[in-house]
Amino acid sequence: MPPRRPKTPKSKLDPPAMVQLPAVTPAASTEPKQSHQNFDRAARGVMAKLSGGVSNHAFIEAWSDWAQQMARSPGRQLELMEHAQQNALKLLASVTDRDAEPPFAPKAYDHRFTHPDWQKPPFRMWQQGFLAMQDWWDHATEPMRGLCREDAERARFLARQTLDLVAPSNFPWLNPEIIEATRDTGGRNLTEGMTRFSRDMVKTFSGHRDPAPEGFEIGKDLACTQGQVVYRNDLFELIQYAPQTKQVQAEPILIVPAWIMKYYILDLSQHNSMVRYLVDQGFTVFMISWCNPTAAQAELSLEDYRKRGVLAALEAVCAIVPDVPVHAVGYCLGGTMLAITAATMARDGDTRLGSVTLMAAQVDFVEAGELLMFLDESQIAFLEDLMWEQGYLDRPQMARAFAAIRSEDLIYTRNVQRYFLGREDLPSDIGVWNADTTRMPARMHSEYLRALFLENRLTAGRFAVEGRVIALKDIAVPLFVVGTETDHIAPWQSVYKTRLFTDCDLTFVLTKGGHNGGILSEPGHKGRHYRISHRPKGALYTGPDTWLAQNAPKPGSWWLEWAEWLKTRSGKAVPAPQMGAPDKGYPPLMAAPGSYVFQP
């Protein structure tokens, strides 16, 4: 059977003309007004830097709404009084009967109270008292009649942040693990911790970053799958990986990672590299390596990432491996952009894609998880003023928001380990990658937050590309969609909604783990499982709870299912293609991982 010949529209690389999104800098009718607005923006930009880019307006409004609704709800007040009384009785019982099971337990991701001495007096009383307060505030900030759901979630978040600040585990004289370490080391843990704290503070204010620890060098230990950069523009480098088998699948794979992080999360160490696994399975793999934008690239837009990014990469792949469709893979924000690109291509009759895989990627943002707590008009305007001041949003400013969502583990547990117990973080491949921060260009990030997160245009039928609205239901190629069970960045129920807005053949996988760990689920990884189902084209919709009940978990790695799914859609095996296509303007430029991955 001859290979399918994808159709390419004549105007595939016309100048960008995306629908007009809200500009980063508002227009002004007169010069004095513009000057006054710029003065206001500069002032807010300074405040945003001091607050880490977080606006307090939404949280003040949330507390006000919660307090007003509580003030006119006497029944709710009585209920909370009864709940406080019950918690007090439980505490009293746990103090008088030390052999009884503790009435309050920390959340599954909270590792502050794992030391066994927390179950001994007086530490048990302090621990249980804190958890009892946490339980009461969780109950007090539950949604109630008349209270906006977003305000209830923000009030709960603020209550949790305040409680975490005064948790007994944070204080050396109340934490039995710190007391034990101080006694055993003669106080050396505290002096080493203070030295580490001082060093971290200097690095924070100076922006200095430590080099990768020994054994985690990029290009040698990480991002080390062999290949060549075969195309480069100001936005990205395209890596073609060297074949590891004599015969390869006829149709290549193009991976679109998120530009909120560096690409090598998908080519980490040799044992957990998704790229290496695909190459070993006989696939020809291409990877986009995004630039780390500077202030000079503040005007990069979503349309730039679609047209001069994804489509430019697709054009190169089709030139190097001609006359066959391409299997596109998008991760996180890269998956959202890939879905936009695929819908636009379907609208325009462009048939160069053979399938689309979306990993931990959202197309609908109504249930986008706890990150929505940080987003409203005030917050986005605050971020825009910060980016207007510096030209981009720096990765540490985003990292603070991600860490705050799981502050118990990502902030307080880590700080106690480093500064009170004197323990250095053990280096890991994912830890080194996580510290290798990137920036977000001002215009693109503003468009992304407004058009997708705030206004949810893509699934509301209001997202236009080149002046015309696109629809996800136009996508006709098979979809493979992956969600992860404990993802707090792209909750799996939100990822699952891809099934609601598409009609094509679709395979959905729910795998154990979080946003990164669930995707890095290589064969042989202990304790892994996944659920999988296939929805034929045109089938009726099934809700996420029903789907979960109908699909039992399977042990092992979802990579095996995905590789088989790709193979059945990739044609027969053929000789491996050459590296690049010099005669078509895509010569090998340098060895992988290229140069953009090293941009600070």
Tell me: the pLDDT tens digits for 512-533? 999 999 999 999 988 999 999 9
Lowest pLDDT segment from 12-26, 68-82, 265-279:
12-26
Residue 18 pLDDT exceeds 60: no
- Does residue 454 carry a pLDDT above 90? no
Q: Tell me what percent of the residues of the chain surpass a pLDDT of 90.
A: 58
pLDDT band at 559 (very low <50, low <70, confident <90, very high): very high
* R_g of the chain computed on alpha carbons: 26
The token pair that represents 262 in the structure block: 């560096």
pLDDT class for 230, splitting at 50, 70, 90?
Answer: very high
Instruction: Band the pLDDT of 228: cuts 50, 70, 90.
Output: very high
Higher-scoring residue by pLDDT: 397, 181: 181
Question: Please, what is the angle between helix 57-71 and helix 149-165, to 10°?
Answer: 100
Res 198: pLDDT: 87
**In this predicted structure, what is the pLDDT of residue 130?**
94
CA 91 to the chain's CA centroid: 39
Q: Taken in order 570, 495, 515, 305, is the CA torsion positive or negative? A: positive
Instruction: Give the pLDDT score at 200.
Output: 80
In whole angstroms, give the CA distance from residue 239 to residue 311.
15
Q: What value does the mean pLDDT take over residues 367-386?
A: 71
Is a pLDDT exceeding 50 seen at residue 537? yes
The confidence score (pLDDT) of residue 63 equals 86
pLDDT of res. 29: 38
Structure-token pair, residue 297? 């690239």
> Which of 187-191, 265-269, 371-375 is least confident?
371-375
In this predicted structure, what is the pLDDT of residue 161?
84
- CATH 3.40.50.1820 residue ranges in the chain? 227-366+462-598
Whether the per-residue pLDDT at 15 is higher than 80: the answer is: no
- Distance of alpha carbon 313 from alpha carbon 397, whole angstroms: 30
Fold annotation for 227-366+462-598: Rossmann fold (3.40.50)
- Residue 557 or 378, more confident: 557
Choose from 31-35, 232-236, 453-457 the range with maximum mean pLDDT.
Answer: 232-236
- In angstroms, what CA-CA distances link 387 with 54, 205, 284, 334, 374? 13, 18, 39, 21, 16
Per-residue pLDDT at 400: 57
pLDDT digits (tens, 9 = 90+) for 142-177: 988 888 888 888 888 888 888 988 999 999 999 999
Give start and end residues of each alpha helix (H) in 176-301. 176-185, 188-206, 274-280
Residue 132's pLDDT band (boundaries 50, 70, 90)? very high
pLDDT tens column, 396-415:
555 555 555 555 555 777 78
What pLDDT score was predicted for residue 508?
Answer: 98
Tens of pLDDT, residue by residue over 115-126, are: 999 999 899 999
Mean pLDDT to the nearest integer, 590-594: 97
Range of weakest confidence among 26-30, 118-122, 237-241: 26-30
Indicate if the pLDDT at residue 28 is higher than 60. no
- Residue 478's nearest CA partner among 508, 516, 507 is 507
Residue reference for tokens 């986008």: 368
Q: What is the DSSP string of 17-56?
A: ----PPPSS---SSHHHHHHHHHHHHHHHHHHHHTTT--S
Q: How confident is the model at residue 98 (pLDDT cuts 50, 70, 90)?
A: confident
Give residue 384's pLDDT: 75
If you average pLDDT over residues 499-515, what whole number do you get? 96
- Measured CA to CA in angstroms, residue 189 lies from 114, 347, 387, 409, 557 at distances of 19, 62, 40, 20, 41
Residue 248, SS3 per DSSP: strand
Confidence of residue 431 (pLDDT cuts 50, 70, 90): confident
Q: Which two tokens stand for residue 576?
A: 């491996």
Range with lowest mean pLDDT among 261-275, 362-376, 442-456: 362-376
Q: What is the pLDDT of residue 332?
A: 94
| Of 482 and 43, the one with more pLDDT | 482
Confidence (pLDDT) at 405: 55
Smallest Cα–Cα separation from 180: which of 130, 129, 99, 118? 118
Q: Could you tell me the pLDDT band of residue 567, with boundaries at 50, 70 and 90? A: very high
Q: Which two tokens stand for residue 514?
A: 């979080």
In the three-class reduction of DSSP (H, G, I as helix; E, B as strand; rest coil), residue 377 is classed as helix
Catalytic site positions:
332
Q: Which two tokens stand for residue 145?
A: 């009649």
Number of Cβ within a 10 Å radius of residue 315: 18
Question: Is the pLDDT assigned to residue 598 strictly greater than 60?
Answer: yes
Q: What value does the mean pLDDT take over residues 96-124?
A: 87
Q: Would you give the DSSP letter of residue 474?
A: G
